[in-house]
Amino acid sequence: MTTKSAAAASVATAHGYPRQGRGRELKKAIEGYWNGAVAAEALLATAADLRRTNWQQLADSGVEEVPTGDFSLYDHVLDTTVAVGAIPPRHREAVDTDPLDGYFAMARGNQDVAPLEMTKWFDTNYHYLVPELGPDTVFAANPAKAVGELREALLLGHAARPVLVGPVTYLLLAKPAPGVTADFQPITLLDRLLPVYARLLAELRAAGAAWVQLDEPALVQDRTPAELNAAARAYRELGGLTERPKLLVASYFDRLGEALPVLAKAPVEGLALDFTGPAAANLEDLAAAGGLPGKRLVAGVIDGRNIWINDLEKSLATLATLLGLAGTVDVAPSCSLLHVPIDAAAERDIDPQIARWLAFARQKAGEAALLARGLREGTGAITAELAANRAGLASRANSPITRDPAVRARAAAVTVDDTRRAQPYPVRAEAQHARLGLPLLPTTTIGSFPQTTELRTARADLTAGRIDAPAYRERMEAEVREVVAYQEKAGLDVLVHGEPERNDMVQYFAEQLTGYLATRHGWVQSYGTRYVRPPVLAGDISRPHPMTTDWFGYAQGLTDRPVKGMLTGPVTMLAWSFVRDDQPLADTARQVALALREEVVDLEAVGAAVVQVDEPALRETLPLRAAARPAYLAWATEAFRLATSGVRADTQIHTHMCYAEFGAIMTAIDELDADVISLEATRSHMEVAGELAGAGYPREVGPGVWDIHSPRVPSTDEAVSLLRAGLAAIPAERLWVNPDCGLKTRGWPETRASLESLVAAARLLREELAG
């Protein structure tokens, strides 16, 4: 096909769209269902309404082909587990009895069964449910969801393309099921799984699908020859089917590298590639591979993970080059728009100068449509839009908001000594133990306590002006008093103030730092019904005033037990924000670290003996390609040490991480030089304790013994069992007892019951060790 005809055929499309609804209607309906206030039929009707709204929004933005199947009640990987029939045995009865309740039992567990493990989706803050597979796994096609949602879209008159997690990625994301040997490789089940995908594809074709998209983002990671051969075999078999739609194999988040020629040669009709960030290398790689003659290329030239407007002229230049490399070139964001908020137009409180720099999901869909139009009709057809885009880009580049000379000078003056504690860990540990006087197996929590309806209402009332600041302060102080008194009564050793005044662990600090912007409606799904509003990191960062010392001082004044000062670390402040893309991440991290360093020192000055600086995003932000990891880990660990190294030897620095695969960053965890680290360990059955021991980790560790993302209340026996597993790897002198994560999403009844189990388990084992 000629370049001219390739351009003439260009359309706009998307890989996926935010699920929650503008007012988070999906969250409210699901949680209402869990609480018994919303019937199943009403929940499913809300979901259907949201799907219709999403498709219409895409169509109104100019997207000619909408995705289906990307919508989920909890997680699209869990949906794939259902679609291929890979239900764990412990959940089978629940699924057979009531598929909806069984689905949620897999997602979050119940009092009878534990949920699937949850971890981060590649290097994003989205969490997926990890498939559990073993040699005895039997797959069976369940096409109901995929077919039903396709039919909904077609009946509404949309050109629709179903999207499924591809078979290779599904298996590479899976883990050995409980009881299966750790060396079992789920990818060995590929030949068993492919016939199930063949059935799904046949059913979708019969329902009217012209194309089906199979997402294979796992192939952008470093893959072994055996895994690449598995991918080649998978698409040779699926591509050779006769009863199937056309296949579009999609990748995103990084360059395909060695997998690109494998997929380019496969008997499929199209590829979707990311051309943003590190994935820009796909352009050169595609040319080296001989392009995709006669095939469809969906070009992801719009960053689907960040919120800045696209450089339309730069994207058009990329697309013009791609026209010579493929039969047809279509335009799309780089990945699903699940990772950005819905509509920047809803942000009425943002400075209009800054608002013109922002593009959320609806705007990104419009950018894709505009670029496709420019390809079809020529740039003359979009002259006004290109001029407005140039003006917006120039406004941002030249704005004084983005640059603060004083901040930059301070960051440039940082020395190696600023990034190292003055004393080695053994000296610090002795001083800290003398100061704190804690028992063996000290107990604590991660930071937050339940964010009740009353607390959220008080915060909303303050924002709306229904109560004044003194009244709000009085309400928050009452909550702190209750939380501190409860912890003393429960027998916890190191307390927290409960964070009632905090809306989110990143947003709370972002709202007090220069250079950050907060949104009112910028909700993004983190997992299930947990949505966050990532702040926008628009300019240079500084701290105008202390952020937490007042609340810490109030809480510490209520008790003789140590209270932790609670902060969010520099890497997480970046990872859980929409970060600026006009300077290296390392430079931004250093600015944030310097602001946090001031806060840590101020906390110590007002009496904090323990300061926790959370870095749950350290692992998730790890580059997908191994070659880029050393540089990232160097600046990330330096930023943490810069934030925490200004204190005395007897001030104990804690950090926290959760819901990630930690094995790849064990050296980096050591490089943080924190005195105590707490980590998620319950769903992964205390694996991390063994990993830390195997890496020779020398400091104190708190592997979690209560999965706070499940409504299950652990028994004392369960907590004891997990602690015994921890003690098998870590000496009692270095083991802490804590939940997996903060408690803001839990209710008070389960919090009390679970913490009682945790404290009782610690006491039982102390007595056992003493005897």
Sign (positive/negative) of CA torsion 463, 468, 469, 472? negative
Task: Write the pLDDT tens digit of every residue in 102-113.
Answer: 999 999 999 899
Rounded Cα distance between 93 and 89, Å, is: 8
Q: Which residue in 97, 188, 204, 201 sits closest to 149, CA to CA?
A: 204
The answer for residues whose C-beta is within 8 angstroms of residue 104's C-beta and 6 or more apart is 34, 73, 74
Instruction: Give the DSSP letter of residue 309.
Output: P
> Active site residue: 76, 127, 497, 709, which one?
709
Report d(CA 172, CA 645) in Å as an integer.
Answer: 39
C-beta neighbour count of 353 within 10 angstroms? 12
3-state secondary structure 400-445: HHHCCHHHHHHHHCCCHHHHCCCCCHHHHHHHHHHHHCCCCCCEEC
pLDDT computed for residue 660 by the predictor: 59
How does residue 681 score in pLDDT terms, banded at 50, 70 and 90? confident
User: Closest Cα partner for 71 from 206, 162, 201, 203?
Assistant: 162
**Short-list 419, 396, 422, CA closest to 589:** 419
Model confidence at 55, pLDDT cuts 50, 70, 90, reads very high
Look at residues 270, 231, 275 and name the one whose alpha carbon lies nearest to residue 253.
275
Give the confidence band of 508 by pLDDT, cuts at 50, 70, 90.
very high
Interval 315-335: pLDDT, tens = 999 999 999 999 999 999 999
Question: CB–CB of 675/699 below 8 Å?
Answer: yes
DSSP 8-state code for residue 332 = E
CB-hemisphere CA count at 13 Å for 538?
Answer: 26
Residues 302, 333 contacting (CB under 8 angstroms): yes
Per-residue pLDDT of 528-561, as tens digits, reads 999 999 999 999 999 999 999 999 999 999 999 9
91 included as an active-site residue: no
* Position 662 confidence tier, pLDDT thresholds 50, 70, 90: confident
The pLDDT of residue 6: 61
Measured CA to CA, the distance from residue 236 to residue 213 in angstroms comes to 16
Q: What is the pLDDT of residues 447-478, one digit of tens each?
A: 999 999 999 999 889 988 999 999 999 999 99
Per-residue pLDDT tens digits for 130-173: 999 999 999 999 999 999 999 999 999 999 999 999 999 999 99
DSSP at 67: E
Confidence at residue 1, expressed as pLDDT on a 0 to 100 scale: 34
Q: What is the pLDDT of residue 646?
A: 97
Q: Could you give the CA distance from residue 743 to residue 709 in angstroms, rounded to a whole number?
A: 9
Q: How confident is the model at residue 664 (pLDDT cuts 50, 70, 90)?
A: confident
The identity of residue 111, as a single letter, is Q
Q: What string of H, E and C letters represents the secondary structure of 525-593? A: EEECCEEECCCEEEEEEECCCCCCHHHHHHHHCCCCCCEEEEEECHHHHHHCCECCCCCCHHHHHHHHH
Instruction: Give which of 436, 418, 414, 422 is closest to 654, Cα–Cα.
Output: 436
Give the whole-angstrom CA distance, residue 184 versus residue 187.
9
Sign, CA dihedral 126-719-448-750, equals: positive
Between CA 256 and CA 658 the distance in angstroms is: 28
What's the average model confidence in pLDDT over 602-618? 96
Q: How far apart are the first and last CA of the chain?
A: 81
pLDDT tens column, 374-410? 999 999 999 999 999 999 999 999 999 899 999 999 9
Please tell me the total number of residues recorded for the chain in this structure: 771
Q: Give DSSP secondary structure letters for 647-662.
A: S-TTSEEEEEE-SS--
pLDDT (0 to 100) of residue 45: 98
Whole-Å CA distances, 254 to 16, 90, 173, 525: 18, 36, 17, 21
- Tell me the C-alpha distance between 212 and 205, whole Å: 9
Q: Which of 548, 631, 533, 628 is nearest to 589 (CA)?
A: 631
Task: Please state whether 189 falls in left (phi above 0), alpha (psi between -120 and 50) or beta.
Answer: alpha
Q: Would residue 528 be called left, alpha or beta, if left means φ above 0 and alpha means ψ between -120 and 50 degrees?
A: left
β-pair partners for 613: 567
pLDDT of residue 527: 94
pLDDT in tens, 174-213: 999 999 999 999 999 999 999 999 999 999 999 999 999 9
Region class of 623: left (phi > 0), else alpha (psi between -120 and 50), else beta: beta
CB 347 within 8 A of CB 27: no
Asked whether the beta carbons of 734 and 709 are under 8 A apart, the reply is no
CB-hemisphere CA count at 13 Å for 519? Answer: 27
As a whole number, the mean pLDDT across the chain is 95
